[in-house]
């Protein structure tokens, strides 16, 4: 069964450093998403991406964050200058349709980001 | 603002007994409601969704959920719990972006 994959599973970085989290969505999917989950808290929406553009983003997704689909298979989340409060589990998701918000999303296993 | 609430952090049931994981929602307009499950070291897996139609929705692994508009609830149920159902369960609502509840940890004891 096809699945979303994410690398690395765990990333440790120093505050102020840039990190890139990588995701490989399911191959025929067209809609891509990033979420984060701070330990013990809710899963929070960050951004959605379709047709090489951001379609929606939350207030969390500020100028420190960016997303890219560099090569038709990978979908990346970049954090330019990490802060301690960026420590969280980051989930990538994809969907083959997004008609009126009715379609389920398929999630990767997550990348645990630890900022020291 | 749209949101979901899962009032129970933890639910414990004995194997073979029915289980219910509660979810209530607050949205303006028609809600699109989802249940996801998370096993250790895995991503969220889709279980079922309510879009429209029959209030009782059947999903994966024998789970079902009942949409109740008057009570603004979307509780997840299973008639007979298995030990392997032990996991973290998330309710979510979508009007635009997906909003998740805080999660409920289900423990099924043999």
A1 touches chain B (CB under 8 A): no
Query: Are β-strands A10-13 and A111-115 bridged in parallel, bridged antiparallel, or unpaired?
Result: parallel
For residue A67 the two structure tokens come to: 């997303």
Of A45, A106, A107, the CB nearest to B97: A45
Query: Are β-strands A5-7 and A19-24 bridged in parallel, bridged antiparallel, or unpaired?
Result: antiparallel
Query: Which residues of A are less than 8 Å from B94 in CB distance?
Result: 101-102
Q: What is the pLDDT along chain A (116 residues), one digit of tens a residue?
A: 788 999 999 999 999 999 999 999 999 898 999 999 998 788 999 999 998 999 999 999 999 999 999 887 899 999 999 999 999 999 999 998 766 567 889 999 999 999 99
CA atoms within 13 A on the CB side of A95: 18
Residues A107, B32: C-beta atoms closer than 8 Å: no
Residues A105, B97: C-beta atoms closer than 8 Å: no
**What is the C-alpha separation between A63 and B19, in angstroms, rounded?**
44
Reply yes or no on whether the pLDDT at B47 is more than 70: yes
Q: Which residue of B has its CA nearest to A9?
A: B41
């Amino acid at each position: 069964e096809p699945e979303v994959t994410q690398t690395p599973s765990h990333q440790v970085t120093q505050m102020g450093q840039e990190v890139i989290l990588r995701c490989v969505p399911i191959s025929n999917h067209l809609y891509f998403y990033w979420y984060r989950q701070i330990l013990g808290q809710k899963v929070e929406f960050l951004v959605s991406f379709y047709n090489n553009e951001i379609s929606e983003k939350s207030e969390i997704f500020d100028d420190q964050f960016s997303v890219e689909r560099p090569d038709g298979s990978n979908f990346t989340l970049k954090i330019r200058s990490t802060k301690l409060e960026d420590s969280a589990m980051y989930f990538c998701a994809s969907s083959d349709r997004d008609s009126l918000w009715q379609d389920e999303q398929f999630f990767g296993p997550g990348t645990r980001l630890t900022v020291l | 603002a749209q949101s979901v609430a899962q009032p129970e952090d933890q639910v414990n049931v004995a194997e073979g007994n029915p289980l219910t994981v509660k979810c209530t929602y607050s949205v303006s307009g028609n809600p699109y409601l989802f249940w996801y499950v998370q096993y250790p070291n895995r991503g969220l897996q889709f279980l079922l969704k309510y879009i429209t139609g029959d209030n009782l929705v059947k999903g994966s692994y024998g789970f079902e959920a009942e949409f109740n508009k008057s009570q603004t609830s979307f509780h997840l149920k299973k008639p007979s719990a298995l030990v392997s159902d032990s996991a973290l369960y998330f309710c979510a609502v979508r009007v635009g972006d997906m909003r998740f509840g805080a999660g409920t940890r289900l423990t099924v004891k043999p």
